[in-house]
Amino acid sequence: MLTPEQVKNILKENCINLRFHARGGQGGVTASNLCVEAFYGYGVCQPRFGAERMGSPTESYVRLSADYNLVRDNSAVYAPHFVSVLDPSLLTEVDVTAGVPHGGWLIVNTTMNQLEIQDIVKRKDLNIATIDATRIAFDILGRNITNTIILGALVRVSHLVTLDELADAILKRFKGAIAGKNVEAIKQAIEETCLYETGNDPDFSENTKVPYQQVSLGLPGYQELDIAGVWYCDEDVIEVGSDQVITGSWGEYDMIWDEEKCTDCAQCWFICPDFAILRKKGEDGLWHMSGIDTIHCKSCQNCLEICPVQAISKKLKQSPASCATPE
C-alpha cells in the first residue's frame, strides 16, 4: 500500500480515478460527492443511473488530481484505480472490476473473505479491502446507508483524503446528530477494514483506458432485457422479462411469511410493486396466498407494513463478517 506522501507525489502529475457501485438509495452518488469535497486538490464526479427504481444498480465516478488540467473530463471512469462496492450482491450482477489495472483496489461492503471475492470477480491481481458496512450502518445509523462507511475503508487504503478532511466535508453536508453519527461510523470503518494486499500498486501514469462493459457475466444486457425491467408473465409474449431481472438481489432482507398467522386478506398482494406475493388456486376455486417469490422480492417491506396481523417479518441476509483468511 502506498504511503500518504507517495500518493501526494503521484497526484502532482497524475489523475487518480475512482468508481462507486451502489444500488439506488444507498448513497453512492453522495459518496462520490464527498470524495471531491474532502479532497485538497481538484476533483470532478459524475453519476450514472439505470432504471429509476430504489435498489437498481448505479455507478458514480470520481477523478482527483493536484493538477487542474488532469480532471477536466466529465466522461465515465473506465479504468478506476479504486473501486468501491456498496452492496455485495452487485459483485455477481455487474462487472465491478472492468478496466481496473493490475494492483488496483477493490473495496467491498461484504462479510466474504478475499478468496470468495476473487472467485466471483475472477481476478487475483487486485488488492482487496472488505468492510461489513451494512452491520456498522445498522448499529450506528439505524439504517442500511453504507456510503460514508465505505469511504472510511477508502481512507484506510487510498490516503487520498484524511479522516479529518472527510469529517469536515461531512459536517458541512449533514446537520446535527446525523453528521456526528456518520463520522463515528467512518472511524469504526477505518478500524475494522480488512486488507488483502497483493504487494503491487497500479501504475498511475499508464493510460489504462479501455471500453467499459456494463455486463459481462453471462447475464443479459440492455439489448436483451425489456425496457426498464417491465414484467411479462407470459413468456410467449417475449422470451425475456421478469425471469431475467432478479430484483430479489436488490434488497438486504429476506421476507418471511407465516402461513399460520395469515388471514389471506390479500392486502400484501395488492401493494407489492414486484408481483412477489405468490398466490395459487385452491380446491375451493379461489386464489389464496402461497408464499413470497424470493427471486423478485426486493424487500421494500410494503407487505410487512400493510399486513394487519403481522404475518410477514424480515431477516437480514448478510451475516456477521470476519477478516479470517481460510486455509
Instruction: Compute the least distance from the CB of residue 25 to ligand SF4, in Å.
Output: 14
**Residue 145 or 307: which CB sits closer to ligand SF4?**
307
Closest to ligand SF4 by CB, 56 vs 302, is: 302
For 268, other C-beta atoms within 10 Å of its C-beta total: 23
Nearer to ligand SF4 by Cβ, of 1 and 265: the residue is 265
Positions in the binding site for ligand SF4 (CB under 6 A): 255, 257, 262-268, 271-272, 274, 276-277, 289, 292, 297-303, 306-307, 309, 311-312
Grid cell 450482491 — which residue? 89
Q: Which is nearer to ligand SF4, 155 or 300 (CB)?
A: 300
Q: Contact at 8 Å (CB) between 123 and 115? A: no
Interhelix angle 163-173/176-192, rounded to 10 degrees, is: 150
Q: How far is the CB of 250 from ligand SF4 (least distance, A)?
A: 9
Bridge-based pairing state of the strands 105-109 and 127-131? parallel
d(CA 119, CA 105): 16
Contact predicate 208/101, CB 8 Å: yes
Reduced 3-state DSSP string for 16-43: EEEEEEEECCCCHHHHHHHHHHHCCCEE
Least distance CB 263 / ligand SF4 (angstroms): 4
Q: How far is the CB of 308 from ligand SF4 (least distance, A)?
A: 6
Question: Nearer to ligand SF4 by C-beta: 239 or 258?
Answer: 258
2 CB contacts (<8 Å, ≥6 apart)? 10, 159, 201
- Show contacts of 276-285: CB within 8 Å, 24+ apart: 276/247, 276/248, 277/303
Between 29 and 300, whose beta carbon lies closer to ligand SF4?
300
Helices (H) and strands (E) counted in the chain, each on its own, are: 9, 11
The three cell numbers locating residue 139: 448499529
* Cα 101 to chain centroid, rounded: 21
With respect to ligand SF4, which residue has the nearer C-beta, 38 or 307?
Answer: 307
Complex with ligand SF4: residue 153 or 268, whichever CB lies closer: 268
CA dist., res. 298 & res. 227, Å (int): 19
Report how far residue 304's alpha carbon sits from residue 324's, in angstroms, rounded to the nearest whole number.
36
